[in-house]
Structure 1
Amino acid sequence: MRRPLALALLAFLAMSAGCTSLFGPGELSQEQLNENTSYDWSTDATATYTVSADEYRAVYVLDNRTNLSVYGRNTFGLERPLDVSAVKYQYPNGTVIGLNDSDEFAVTQSRERATITVPEKGGKVAFTVPRNGKTFSTPTFVDGASYEVVLPPNTDVAVPLLGKVSPGGYTTERVDGRIHIEWSTVETNGISVRYYLDRDLLIFGSLAGILTIAGLVGSAYYVRQIRELERRRRDVGLDTREE
C-alpha cells in the first residue's frame, strides 16, 4: 500500500515541478517582463551570456527567425519555462523596444517553455534570468551556432582543479578585466561553466603551500625518528642490517 502511494506522490511532484500549480505554469508577470535593463547589443556570437553574481543577461541573434523558445530544467531533469525578465528586441536598424512598444512583440508560456515572439525576422532579442553560485549552465536553444559566455569581473577558469568548461573546443580572452569564453560552433545540448574568484586561487595556493610545508616537516620528522631508532639499536649491539 505504501509503495503505490509513494509512486503517486513522485508522479505528482514530477507533474508540478517547475510550475506554480498542478495545471500549468503560473501567469507571467508583465511588470517583470517589462523591467528596464540595458544590454550590450554589440555581439558577433549567435548567443551571448553576460554573467553576474545573481543573474545573467542573454542576447540572441535571430537571423531569419521570429521566435525563440527558452527553458531550464527542474530537479527531476524535466523542462520548465525559463524565468525571463526585462525582455527587449533590437530591430536590424538598431532601434530597441520593449514588450509594451509593439503588439507583435510578446512572451507566451506553456508548461515546459517560454516562447518569445518578435515583430519581424532578424534583429536580436535579449532577456535576463536570475541565478546564483559559481556555475553557469544553459541548454543550447540554437543548434550548431556560436556561443559566448562573459564571466563576472575578477573570475577565471584557467586552473583545472577550480574551473571547468564544457563542451571543449573553446577559446578564452580577457577583455576589460572579464574573461570571455567563445565557441565558434556548439553541437551539444548545453554548455556549462564552473569558474572561481581570483581570491579563491590565492586561498587555494596558500592552502597548497601550507600542506606542502606540513608534508615536508612530517617527512623530515619521520626520517629523523627512523635514524634515532637505528642509532639506539646499534648502541645495544643489534645489527640493523640483519634485522
Structure 2
Amino acid sequence: MNRRLLLATVCLALLAVTSGCLGIGTGPVSEDQIDSDPAAQYQWADNETVHLTVQSNTEFRTVMETNKSTIELFRRDGFGGTNPLSVQAVRYRYPNGTIIPGSEIRDRGGEIRTTRDKTIVSLPGDAPPRGGSLAFTSESTPKRFTLPTYVDGTYEVVLPENRRIDFPVFGQVRPGGFTTSVDDQNRLHIVWDEPVTVDTVSVQFYLQRDLYVFGGVAALVVFVGLGGLFYYRRQIEELREERTEMGIDVETEVDDDDGPPPGMG
C-alpha cells in the first residue's frame, strides 16, 4: 500500500512539473537568451505582415509587424491548453529603422517573461502603436512547421534549401490560397497574399532526396514481391509435375447423373 502511495505521489509531482503548476521555468527570460545573436540576419524589409524562415537546425526566425503593445507567444498542446514558446535573439525595430535587443526592450519599459502557458512580450514604452516590428528565434520540428497566427495579416514561410511540398504524401500546407516560388538558393517561399484568418499556419515538407530514397525502397519492395510470387508459383508447378509423374494428381471424371442409390437400380 505504501508503495502505491509513493508511486501516486511521484506521478502527481511529475504532472505538476510538466504542467507548470510549480512555477518552474517561469519568470523573466534570461538576458543571455534574449540578447543572443540569430543564426542569420532577420528579414526586416518584407512585403508580408509576418515573415518566417525555417532553419535546417530545427529552429525558425520570424519578423512580425506589431499593431499592439503586448504579444502572447505559445503553442497549443493538443488537449485544449497551451505551452509557452521559447524565444531567443529577441529584437525590436522602430519605424525609423533603429533596432534594439531584448535587454534594451526591458530598459525602455517593456518585458519578456514566461508564464506556465505562454511567453509574454511587451514592447518598449516608447514604441508607436503601429509601424514597428518584433523579431525572435524559436524552436521548430524536423519536416513540419506549425505556428499559431499571433498577428493578423499576410504571411510568408521560407523553407530550408532543397525542401519541397509538392508530393501529396509528404507535403502539405494549411491553410490554402497560397502561392510558391523558389529563390536562387533553392529555398521554397510559401506566401499568403491575403490575410490569414485561421488560427494556425502549418507546413509539412520533405527533403528532395527523400523522394529518391522512397522511390528506391518502393521499387525494391515491388521487385522482392514479384520475385517471391514467381518463386511461389514455380514451386507449385514443380510440385504438380511431381505428383502427376507419381500418378497422384490424376483427374477423374465426375458423373453428373446421381442415379438411384446402390441396390435400387
TM-score bracket, shorter-length normalisation? 0.7 to 0.9
Alignment of 1:34-183 (within 5 A): 34-37=35-38, 38-52=41-55, 53-62=57-66, 64-73=67-76, 78-101=81-104, 103-118=108-123, 119-122=127-130, 123-143=132-152, 145-175=153-183, 176-183=185-192
Calculate the aligned-residue CA RMSD, in Å.
3.3
Over 3 Å counting, the alpha-carbon distance change for 1:18 and 1:33 in structure 2 is: farther
Q: What is the alpha-carbon distance in structure 1 between the residues aligned to residue 95 and residue 198 of structure 2?
A: 29
Q: Alpha-carbon deviations, 1:137-188, whole Å to 9, x = none? A: 2222235x32222111122222222233333443332223111223334333
Q: Which has the larger radius of gyration?
A: 2
Identical counterparts, % of pairs: 36
Over 3 Å counting, the alpha-carbon distance change for 1:22 and 1:101 in structure 2 is: closer
Structure 1 position 134, deviation (Å) = 2.4
Say which is worse superposed, 175-184 or 73-82, in terms of deviation. Answer: 73-82
Q: What is the alpha-carbon distance in structure 2 between the residues aligned to residue 193 and residue 170 of structure 1?
A: 11
Q: What is the alpha-carbon distance in structure 2 between the residues aligned to residue 39 and residue 100 of structure 1?
A: 18
Structure 1 portions without partners, runs of 5+: none
Over 3 Å counting, the alpha-carbon distance change for 1:139 and 1:230 in structure 2 is: same
TM-score by length of 2: 0.74
Q: What is the alpha-carbon distance in structure 2 between the residues aligned to residue 15 and residue 76 of structure 1?
A: 16
Q: What is the alpha-carbon distance in structure 2 between the residues aligned to residue 35 and residue 223 of structure 1?
A: 66
Structure 1 position 206, deviation (Å) = 0.8
Structure 1 position 105, deviation (Å) = 4.2
TM-score by length of 1: 0.80
| Paired residues, number | 239
